[in-house]
Structure 1
Amino acid sequence: MSEQVQNHPAHAVPPWAVRVVRQPGPRPLFERAETAVPVGAKLAALAVAVAGAVVVPVDRPGIGWVLALLIAAAVLLTRTRLSGTREGNARRWRQAGWALLATALLAVGALRAAEWLFVLCGLAAAVVASLAVVGKRTVHGTTYDALAVPLEAFRAVPWLLRRSPRPGRQQGRVLGAVLLSGLVLVVFLPLLISADPRFAQFVGDLVPEVRPSSAVRTALVFGVGFAAMAAVFLISADPLPERENRRTTVGDRLSWTSLLGTLSVLFTAYVGVQATALFGGTDYVLRTDGLTSADYARGGFWQLCACTVLTLGILAAALRWAPKATSADRAVLRALLGALTVLSLVVVLSALSRMWTYQQAYGFTVLRLLVEVCEIWLGVVFVLIGATLGTLRANWLPRAAIATAALALLGLAAANPEAAIATANLDRAAQGKPLDVRYLSRFSADVAPVVAARRPDAACLLRPIADDAWPAWNLSRSQAREIVRSQAPCE
């Protein structure tokens, strides 16, 4: 591969980095970058890693997670401003939208105490933040774009640790300012700590207690933060080529028409024959001889989910590879895709109806709620596919599906899922149905207001919650502590 080094303003390369211009076409994922490493980038990555190690509560949701992301964003914006980077308005707004979505997902940790919910939001935030860094679609596709930061970290860390060129005047000033700030802390902080016990306690709360287990977690957060920022700087300095909009055709007209047509006929027959069963719900179950709620709902829900996922894959493949050369091709494809989209939405509604029937009969759980939310998201993706029928171009569809998934998680967090499940199960108990108290007692502090208002034995169901250090502060846990302290002790 022949290369030459020169400036390349088309990709908005920061002036502190030397852009490597390559021949067109994709390059290997882990090819070593040849861009110069500025001192400021090293200091910025080090500052973010240290801040993350201090403020991130690894073992629980807390406000420190979103603070770490905000610190990283502020450092990155400062580096961009100092380097004079210019990007197109459309790309800048798109990246800002992804960044705000990632921030909102991590902010769930400051509101909800359910760890399973925060794990899902944290994983989604990592994907969304990677899309914010990459910007436009690259030649490696959406899967790479969603994992670009962890993938590029393997070559970014050695790149960032390379010997830097001689610092320029501005970079020397930054380095000098950092050294002076450190000197001030070393000299004055011990004096102020010894002068006032309240200030000493304040500083002690800021600095985490050093234990073997906490030291390992702190080192892990530091390493992950440094690697992530190294990848961000590398992607900014040496962006991958963007994907061109090209139409690709796989298979002939007859193959795709027969595949989509057969599936449409099959779904039409199923919906027609099972019209009553699809939406009969509990009343239908009770009127049908030999059919219980469990047989009806549990026996058909997962099969319908499998049909939904498989159909979604077929529709996505058809949008990508089905022939569209002539107006007849496009007309047939629109008709078949439109019919399948509508029929698939009917199947989605059927699956949701079955799960609702099952939950009313046997209670509400986190897993059943997550499956319902996932099925609703699949329905939204089918609606997005329907929106592509006009142009038959689905280049935006993968990222739109990721964005809707992230928004679905935010909606789930806003609904306080554990509190909603607890409320529904307590309502069932008020109707004389059994209540799994043991399952309810395993919920997080999110359910404290509901349980305290509905159960006289709330003190037995809500376990005492220890005070959090400030990086692990969480609204639900803070409210639950006050509720537990105000309740009569458990007998």
Structure 2
Amino acid sequence: MTVYEKLKQEQDSLLEKEGSMKMDQNLTVSYEEQKAQWQERKKQQQKENAGIFKKLAPASLIYALIYTVCIYKNMTGAAVLLWVVATIGYICYIVKTVKERKVFKTTIIFAVYMLILAVSTFTTGNEWIIWMNYCWIFAFTVCFLIRNMADENEWNFWDYLCGGVNAVFGAIGSIARPFGDGNDFARLREKKENGKAREILIGIAVAIPVVLLIGGLLMSADLVFSNMIAKVFEGIRIPANLAGICFMLCFGFISSYCGVRYTAYRKDRQDREVKILTETTAMFTVSVLVAVLYVIFCGIQIIYLFGGGGELPAGVTYAEYARQGFFQLLVVCILNLGAVLTMEHFFQRNRAVDAVLTVISVCTIIMTASSGWRMILYIRAYQLTFLRVVVLVALAVITLLMAGTICYIWNRRFPLFQYGMAVVCVSYVLFAFAHVDAGIAAYDLAQIENGNTAGDYSYLSCLSTDAAPVIAEYLKEHPDKSYYGDGIYNWKWEYMQENDRMNQPVTLRTFNLSYLRAKRIFSEK
């Protein structure tokens, strides 16, 4: 190898080393830049989380306190009205804080309905009605929140359904948010104040269980030490309900914070694009086959209903016929409504399909009438109960919904969603305020007086305080009929025991109109 070649080789080697060093420097700079950018984004996210916590935490804590004071061991009292008012005010505050505007006027109906249900809750003693009231209040709270957090545009059934389900499960998935946001808030506040409040709080939180554990072990190890500790804490009375109160307080804070946090600060909002399908052959085929099946079934129902004398085949009881017919029909109605809403969203309008859907809807109404008539026959034979009243109300609502569906099929401008909401809400409000138990008691007692052997005093003794006026009047007129079962069972005493809550002390918080009325009625006797 010549001298020139050696020099050339050394020069190439030096150039390679210089290039490698430059690449390493570039990589180092690139990594440092990425790390700095990541740290900056993290700081910005922490500031954002801290700001959100500062906005939501105080309001959520106040709301949780009101919720605990009103609802703790008091699901039937007048304080539920204050809780609902606090819920509405809390959502209005969140909308004002986050969206910087007032709630939509179109959503005020949700708040009004919640207040009406709250009034119904402390004016009835029926636990089923009270439980359903709370379910409706929760559903309309979610609707009130998600609708006001969205843009001002038209919403339909699918928007509320998908938005509500998403909000509920999203809130459950955000259960760690209050702690993460609170931690970011404490970190930033600590940096500003240059204090050690966070470390002190952590130390206290860790010390409490450690001290309790070690103290318990030492007390069990030495009797003298145990007696000394017992004397120290002898004058301190810890409320027996402290654990329950703390749980409700934490539940109220976390649930409200998570629900609002997820709904108000979602970053993945996007408008749904509905894809309209022009090919309807498959759907039309399915609809025709279903319609033919319905027509055959309804033909049999009509022939049997009007030609069979209202009697059931051998081996079939009224209870089996009514129960099975109702639940099967309810599923069919839901499927029909779902089919119409699906056709609206995903298929172009087609006259042939509309005609088939009309046939299906008419058949559903016929089946509803048949089921209603059978339920009436069943009630005549086996008396009236709360669940049987629910069946009749549900059948009436189904009929009205299917009538609206037919109108919508032939007139797409018909407000089916608003109509359906009005039908369901008005029907339920009338049902909730009707004091159904009083009507049940009046009907069953009248049937017993008419000699119906299916009368059941044991069921009457399980009715709520809503039935107190009717039962008290009956016992006043028939004092000798307070016993049944050959004089063994006193159904008046059983009724009083079943509704012993009416004898509890009445306060402004626990006031229940139905309990108070029943207490006064039986106190006068």
Q: TM exceeds 0.5?
A: yes
Q: What is the DSSP-based 3-state SS (H/G/I as helix, E as strand, rest coil) of the residue aligned with 1:285?
A: coil
2:358 aligned residue (314, 338, 346): 338
Q: What is the DSSP-based 3-state SS (H/G/I as helix, E as strand, rest coil) of the residue aligned with 2:309?
A: helix
1:78-477 to structure 2, matched below 5 A, reads 78=93, 80-81=95-96, 85-86=100-101, 92-135=104-147, 142-146=161-165, 148-149=167-168, 151-155=170-174, 156-158=177-179, 161-164=182-185, 211-212=239-240, 214-235=241-262, 237-239=264-266, 241=269, 243-244=271-272, 246-249=274-277, 252-278=279-305, 284-285=309-310, 295=317, 298-299=320-321, 301-303=323-325, 305-321=327-343, 330-390=350-410, 397=417, 401=420, 404-434=423-453, 435-456=455-476, 457=479, 460=493, 461-463=495-497, 464=500, 465-477=503-515
Q: What is the DSSP-based 3-state SS (H/G/I as helix, E as strand, rest coil) of the residue aligned with 1:418?
A: helix
Q: What is the DSSP-based 3-state SS (H/G/I as helix, E as strand, rest coil) of the residue aligned with 2:350?
A: helix
| Alpha-carbon distance change, 211 to 360 in structure 1, aligned in 2, over 3 angstroms | farther
Q: Does 1:73 align with 2:88?
A: yes
- Take 1:86 and 1:39, find their aligned partners in 2: how far apart are those partners? 19
Displacement of 1:432:
1.1
Displacement of 1:311:
4.8
Partner amino acid for 2:64?
A: A
| Alpha-carbon distance change, 100 to 315 in structure 1, aligned in 2, over 3 angstroms | closer
CA contact (8 A) 1:39 1:164 kept: yes
Identity among equivalent positions (%) equals 17
CA contact (8 A) 2:333 2:398 kept: no
| Alpha-carbon distance change, 476 to 151 in structure 1, aligned in 2, over 3 angstroms | farther
Q: What is the CA deviation profile of residues 246-290 of structure 1, one whole-angstrom value per residue up to 9, with x for unaligned ones? A: 24439x53322222112222222332333253367xx9236x8x6
Give the structure-1-normalised TM-score: 0.71
| Alpha-carbon distance change, 387 to 162 in structure 1, aligned in 2, over 3 angstroms | farther
CA contact (8 A) 1:308 1:347 kept: no
Q: What is the CA deviation profile of residues 14-68 of structure 1, one whole-angstrom value per residue up to 9, with x for unaligned ones? A: xxxxx99xxxxxxxxxxxx958315342111111111111121435412122211
Partner of 2:209: none
| Alpha-carbon distance change, 234 to 414 in structure 1, aligned in 2, over 3 angstroms | same
Partner of 1:171: none
- Take 2:416 and 2:128, find their aligned partners in 1: how far apart are those partners? 30
Aligned residues: CA RMSD: 3.7
CA contact (8 A) 1:381 1:401 kept: yes
- Take 2:70 and 2:392, find their aligned partners in 1: how far apart are those partners? 35
Give the structure-2-normalised TM-score: 0.67
CA contact (8 A) 2:365 2:399 kept: yes
Structure 1 runs not aligned, ≥5 long: 1-18, 21-32, 168-208
Q: What is the DSSP-based 3-state SS (H/G/I as helix, E as strand, rest coil) of the residue aligned with 1:389?
A: helix
| Alpha-carbon distance change, 444 to 99 in structure 1, aligned in 2, over 3 angstroms | same
CA contact (8 A) 1:62 1:110 kept: yes
2:62 aligned residue (36, 41, 47): 47
- Take 1:346 and 1:481, find their aligned partners in 2: how far apart are those partners? 45
CA contact (8 A) 1:157 1:227 kept: yes
- Take 2:411 and 2:269, find their aligned partners in 1: how far apart are those partners? 25
CA contact (8 A) 1:130 1:145 kept: yes
| Alpha-carbon distance change, 394 to 217 in structure 1, aligned in 2, over 3 angstroms | farther
Displacement of 1:130:
0.3
Partner amino acid for 1:446?
A: D
CA contact (8 A) 2:50 2:181 kept: no
Displacement of 1:404:
4.3
Displacement of 1:382:
1.9
Q: What is the DSSP-based 3-state SS (H/G/I as helix, E as strand, rest coil) of the residue aligned with 1:471?
A: coil
CA contact (8 A) 1:61 1:474 kept: yes
Computing the radius of gyration from Cα coordinates, the structure with the larger value is: 2
1:36 aligned residue (39, 51, 71): 51
Displacement of 1:154:
4.0
Q: What is the DSSP-based 3-state SS (H/G/I as helix, E as strand, rest coil) of the residue aligned with 2:469?
A: helix
Partner amino acid for 2:82?
A: L
CA contact (8 A) 1:352 1:375 kept: yes
- Take 1:242 and 1:426, find their aligned partners in 2: how far apart are those partners? 59
Partner of 2:211: none
Q: What is the DSSP-based 3-state SS (H/G/I as helix, E as strand, rest coil) of the residue aligned with 1:284?
A: coil
- Take 2:415 and 2:164, find their aligned partners in 1: how far apart are those partners? 14
CA contact (8 A) 1:150 1:228 kept: no
Q: What is the CA deviation profile of residues 353-396 of structure 1, one whole-angstrom value per residue up to 9, with x for unaligned ones? A: 11111011101112222233233333333233224314558997
| Alpha-carbon distance change, 274 to 126 in structure 1, aligned in 2, over 3 angstroms | same
Partner amino acid for 1:254?
A: T
CA contact (8 A) 1:249 1:323 kept: no
- Take 2:457 and 2:403, find their aligned partners in 1: how far apart are those partners? 40
| Alpha-carbon distance change, 142 to 221 in structure 1, aligned in 2, over 3 angstroms | same
Q: What is the DSSP-based 3-state SS (H/G/I as helix, E as strand, rest coil) of the residue aligned with 2:250?
A: helix
- Take 2:414 and 2:181, find their aligned partners in 1: how far apart are those partners? 37
Q: What is the CA deviation profile of residues 267-326 of structure 1, one whole-angstrom value per residue up to 9, with x for unaligned ones? A: 22332333253367xx9236x8x659x635632651354144135314523541589766
Displacement of 1:345:
1.0
Higher helix share: 2
CA contact (8 A) 2:276 2:347 kept: no
Displacement of 1:129:
0.8
Partner amino acid for 1:440?
A: L
Partner amino acid for 2:301?
A: Q
